[in-house]
Amino acid sequence: MGALLTWVLLTVSPRETWQSLARLEPEQLATLALANGLVLLSMSGRWWLILRVQGYAVPYLTLVGYRLAAFGVSYFTPGPQFGGEPLQVYLVRRHHNVPGSTAIAGVSLDKLLELLVNFTFLAGGTAWIVHRQLFPGSANPSILVFSFGLLAGPVLFLIMLGTGRLPLTGLLQVVDRLLRRHSRLGESDRLAAYHKFAVVGVGSERQAAQLCQQQPAALAQALLVSIVTWGLMIAEYWLSLYFLGAALTFDQTLVALTAARLAILFPLPGGLGALEASQVLAMTVLGLDPAVGLSLSLLIRARDVLLGGAGLWWGAVKSGSLEKKRISKKGEKP
C-alpha cells in the first residue's frame, strides 16, 4: 500500500490534481450524487427479488439501508469487498423474522449472482486489455487465466445448484466425519457447535438449490437487475471523468473501469493505494493526464468513505434499537 501511494505521489503533481478537482461545479457534483443514488438503489434489487420469492416481502428501501450498512463493514474490512454479508443476514433475521437458513440462502444467492456479473465484466475487460496489450506485461496469458478463473467459480457453483448438487453440504459432511474420527473426550461442546453450524449451512444450500431449480425466472430477473446496475455504474464512471475534463470512448471507459475493479480485489481496505495507482496508470496508458486519474480516485474515495461511514452508522442504529427493545422487555414487570 505504501509503495503504491508513494509511486502515485511521485508520478502526479498535487497541484494538477487539485486543479482537476476544482473544475467540478456544484451542479455537476449534484448530478454525480444523483447517479450514485440510482446505483445504490438498483444494487438491492437482486436481494429484494430473492427474498420475495422466498416468501418475505421486506420493504425495498429498508433493504437499501441494510445493504448500505453491509457495504460499510465490507469497505473498511481488509480484503476484497467482503465482510458485510453476516450483517445482512442478522438484520433481516432480527427485524423481519426471516429464519436463519433462509436469510443465509438469500444473501448467498445475491452475492453469487453479484460475483457472476462482476467477474464476467472483469473477464471481458481483461481480455480486451490483453488483446490490445495496453498495459506493460498485459500480454501475459496468466492474466487471462486469473480473470477467467475468478469467473469459473460462481459459474460452476450456480450450475451445481441448478442441477441439484450440493458442494457445500458434501464438504461439511466430510469435515464432520473427520472431526468425529479425531475428536477427544471433552470436545463434545465443540462438536455440538459445529453440528449446529453444519445444519444451518446444509439447510441454506438446499434452499438456494431449490430456488435455482424451481424459480429460474426470478433468477433471470435478478441477473437483469445486475446488468442494469452495471450499466448505471459505467455511466456514473464515464460521467465522473467527463466532468473532470476527460471524455473517454466506450472502449477507454471499459479499460479504465476494469483496472479500477481489479484494484479493489487487492487485500486492502477499500483497495487503498491500489485504486489510485490503477487509475493513474490507466489514464497514462490511454494518453490522458494522470492527474485526472488521481482526481477520479479521490472522488471515488470520498464517495465510498461517506457511504461506508453512513452505512456503519445506520447498522449501529439498527443493531442498537434491538438491544434497547430487549432491555425494555426485560425491565417490564409481569
Closest by CA position to 203, among listed 154, 168, 236:
168
Q: What is the count of structural domains for the chain?
A: 1
Distance, in Å, from the CA atom of 266 to the CA atom of 38, rounded to the nearest integer, reads 26
Q: What is the pLDDT of residue 185?
A: 44
When pLDDT is cut at 50, 70 and 90, the band that residue 52 belongs to is: very high
Give the 3-state secondary structure of residue 115.
helix
Q: Which secondary-structure segment (H or E) carries 237? A: helix 216-243
Min mean pLDDT across 29-33, 94-98, 159-163 is at 159-163
When pLDDT is cut at 50, 70 and 90, the band that residue 333 belongs to is: very low
pLDDT > 90? residue 59: yes
The answer to whether residue 333 sits within a structural domain is no
pLDDT > 50? residue 334: no
The answer to whether residue 330 sits within a structural domain is no
| 189-214 pLDDT, tens digit each | 666 666 677 777 888 888 888 888 88
DSSP-assigned states of every residue in 174-220: HHHHHHHHH--TT-HHHHHHHHHHHHHHHHHHHHHHHHHHH-HHHHH
One-letter amino acid for residue 188 of the chain: S
Closest by CA position to 126, among listed 142, 147, 141:
147
Q: What is the pLDDT of residue 151?
A: 82
Q: DSSP character for 98?
A: -
The answer to whether residue 334 sits within a structural domain is no
The answer to whether residue 170 sits within a structural domain is yes
Residues of the chain with pLDDT > 70, as a percent, come to 87
The answer to whether residue 36 sits within a structural domain is yes
The answer to whether residue 241 sits within a structural domain is yes
Q: What is the pLDDT of residue 62?
A: 95
Q: What is the pLDDT of residue 207?
A: 87
Written as nine digits, the cell of 94 is 432480527
The answer to whether residue 47 sits within a structural domain is yes
Kindly report the pTM of this predicted structure: 0.84
The answer to whether residue 332 sits within a structural domain is no
Q: Is 315 left (phi over 0), alpha (psi -120 to 50) or beta?
A: alpha
Q: For residue 123, what are the domain limits?
A: 2-325
When pLDDT is cut at 50, 70 and 90, the band that residue 324 belongs to is: low
pLDDT > 80? residue 75: yes
